């Protein structure tokens, strides 16, 4: 028996090749893999000895030869195929262990050039993999180092690898090359907001989850391509129970909230909505104001912070029962405090330098599933194209009101529609989310705020269809409102605001979140 081994990820490859050699299997290899095996003392021959032809074009052409692919693709149950191999002096190749150039990792680097990308497009590797997978009844194909051990176990115990295992490995191999090609297409497409006629997603499993939205549902978490820096897919869990489907959703919501602010920001999220959110200078004080937004709803929620958590803040967070916490990092003292709660899930996400908040790469696109398909859209982000704010009422907002209005306008896009938030001193004091009627959301936000509604400002994710929402806000003594405008009753809405001396700003842009 003969094996061809050529891997970019060399994890476990020396032991694997040594084990094959000990079973009497001839090992052939190329380039860096061959050098690694020789250095470790593994008996290995060059693929050139199979082909009788040297590597050319700086290694671009090594394995693309009939002596290799004939040995892989010949059907072992077809006498004509075997006769042709014998006629041309070609032996069968029974094992192909290949994984590919690190294309996704290469292009993820900020310094990567087009030349770097093109040189990391593997040609020979996918061809070997696909050939071996096509002929899996006669060839074992391995693309994942995790599969070395089970393959060796079958060889050792029964002298061959079962057809069931070969089929599983072939399935994995075709998925491997499909994901690889998808990553290349994503890069070459270039248009970050383009919607091509056909689209494949290079999904890589991050982990299995405890369960789905409900305990009787199974679930897993997948990253799109390589784990995007700064995304939840790149998070490291430092403590706590296994994550479930809902944990991931709430953690992502909390992380998205705080990433929308350059200032120190803390969000408390419950069931996908921020029930508390504040920005400031001091982390512990900002957390306290975020928690105060709705301390009842905060119980069992998720905390997101965009600064490294210190001991003082950790001590304050420790006072409330939370399911999860996510931040760029934690001091050692903070981790000691938080880990006293064994079940508290603590996640750290390292923020990349100069990370753009407005990128709309595929990994950051917004996907929503419908029966039979996917909806795909660019993310709702704040960027340089954000429209100018237009004061439409007789009274203009004060500087303090304006600061609160801008804060709340960023906050309201994280609340499910119909969305209303009340804010004061750059902190949420009331939230109304997910109601079928906008005035109902206003009433809920006012009720949540209680006495704090007095002197607060209001942000609405979409226009007011009627003046009733303005009336409720006026009764609660809200002083200013920010909303997109665009209703056929805008003039009526403005008159109602003027009647109560409420300052109102139109943004010209809505922030629905269904």
Rg (CA), the chain: 29
Are the CB atoms for 130 and 210 separated by under 8 Å? no
Closest C-alpha among 367, 364, 334, 358 to residue 348: 334
Residue of 172, 271, 341, 466 marked catalytic: 271
Closest C-alpha among 514, 154, 493, 186 to residue 369: 514
Closest C-alpha among 109, 107, 106, 69 to residue 90: 69
| Torsion angles phi and psi, residue 454, rounded to 5 | -60, 120
Burial bucket for residue 341 (CB in 10 Å: 0-12, 13-18, 19+): middle
Are the CB atoms for 26 and 3 separated by under 8 Å? yes
134 is catalytic: yes
d(CA 322, CA 335): 15
| Torsion angles phi and psi, residue 423, rounded to 5 | -140, 150
Would you state the structure tokens that stand for residue 97, as one six-digit string?
């262990």
| HSE (side-chain half, CA atoms, 13 Å) at 243 | 28
| Torsion angles phi and psi, residue 492, rounded to 5 | -65, -40
Beta strands in 35-131 (DSSP E): 45-46, 95-99
Are the CB atoms for 148 and 16 separated by under 8 Å? yes
Q: Where are the alpha helices (DSSP H) in 293-380?
A: 295-298, 311-318, 332-338
Residue of 10, 134, 241, 466 marked catalytic: 134
d(CA 20, CA 12): 12
Are the CB atoms for 229 and 352 separated by under 8 Å? yes
Strands 480-483 and 373-377, by their bridges, are unpaired
Would you state the structure tokens that stand for residue 108, as one six-digit string?
């993820």
Are the CB atoms for 12 and 19 separated by under 8 Å? no
Are the CB atoms for 435 and 459 separated by under 8 Å? no
271 is catalytic: yes
Would you state the structure tokens that stand for residue 12, as one six-digit string?
């476990």
Are the CB atoms for 30 and 6 separated by under 8 Å? yes
| Torsion angles phi and psi, residue 332, rounded to 5 | -60, -40
Give catalytic residue positions.
134, 271
């Amino acid at each position: 028996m003969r094996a061809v081994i050529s891997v970019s990820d060399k994890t476990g490859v020396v032991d694997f090749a040594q084990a094959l050699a000990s079973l009497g299997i001839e090992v052939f290899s190329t380039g860096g893999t061959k050098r690694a095996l020789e250095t470790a003392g593994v008996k290995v021959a060059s693929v050139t000895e199979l082909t009788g032809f040297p590597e050319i074009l700086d290694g671009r052409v090594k394995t693309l030869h009939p002596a290799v692919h004939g040995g892989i693709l010949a059907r072992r149950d077809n006498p004509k195929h075997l006769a042709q191999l014998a006629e041309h002096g070609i032996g069968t190749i029974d094992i192909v262990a290949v994984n590919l150039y690190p294309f996704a990792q290469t292009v993820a680097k900020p310094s990567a050039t087009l030349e770097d990308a093109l040189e990391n497009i593997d040609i020979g590797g996918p061809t070997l993999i696909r050939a071996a997978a096509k002929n899996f009844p006669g060839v074992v194909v391995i693309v994942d180092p995790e599969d070395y051990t089970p393959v060796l176990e079958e060889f050792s115990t029964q002298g061959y690898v079962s057809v069931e295992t070969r089929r599983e490995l072939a399935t994995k191999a075709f998925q491997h090359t499909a994901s690889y090609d998808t990553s290349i297409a994503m890069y070459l497409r270039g248009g970050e907001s383009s919607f091509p006629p056909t689209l494949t997603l290079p999904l890589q499993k991050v982990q299995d989850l405890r369960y789905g939205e409900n305990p009787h549902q199974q679930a897993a978490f997948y990253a799109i391509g390589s784990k995007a820096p700064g995304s939840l897919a790149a998070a490291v869990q430092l403590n706590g129970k296994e994550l479930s489907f809902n944990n991931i959703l709430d953690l992502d919501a909390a992380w998205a909230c705080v990433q929308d602010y350059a200032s120190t920001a803390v969000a408390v999220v419950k069931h996908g909505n921020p029930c508390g959110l504040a920005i400031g200078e001091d982390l512990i004080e900002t957390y306290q104001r975020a928690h105060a937004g709705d301390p009842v709803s905060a119980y069992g929620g998720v905390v997101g912070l965009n600064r490294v958590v210190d001991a003082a803040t950790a001590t304050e967070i420790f006072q409330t029962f939370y399911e999860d916490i996510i931040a760029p990092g934690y001091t050692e003292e903070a981790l000691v405090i938080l880990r006293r709660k064994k079940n508290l899930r603590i996640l750290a996400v390292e923020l990349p330098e100069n990370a753009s908040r407005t990128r709309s790469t595929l990994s950051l696109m917004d996907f929503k599933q419908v029966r039979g398909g996917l909806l795909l859209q660019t993310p709702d982000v704040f960027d340089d194209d954000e429209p100018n704010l237009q004061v439409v009422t007789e009274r203009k907002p004060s500087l303090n009101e304006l600061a609160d209005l801008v804060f709340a306008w960023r906050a309201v896009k994280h609340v499910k529609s119909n969305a209303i938030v009340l804010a004061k001193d750059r902190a949420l004091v009331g939230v109304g989310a997910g109601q079928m009627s906008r005035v109902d959301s206003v009433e809920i936000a006012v009720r949540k705020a209680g006495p704090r509604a007095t002197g607060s400002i209001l942000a609405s994710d979409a226009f007011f269809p009627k003046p009733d929402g303005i009336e409720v806000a006026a009764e609660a003594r809200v002083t200013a409102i920010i909303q997109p405008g665009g209703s056929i009753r805008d003039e009526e809405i403005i008159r109602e605001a003027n009647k109560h001396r409420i300052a109102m700003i139109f943004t010209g842009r809505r922030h629905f979140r269904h």
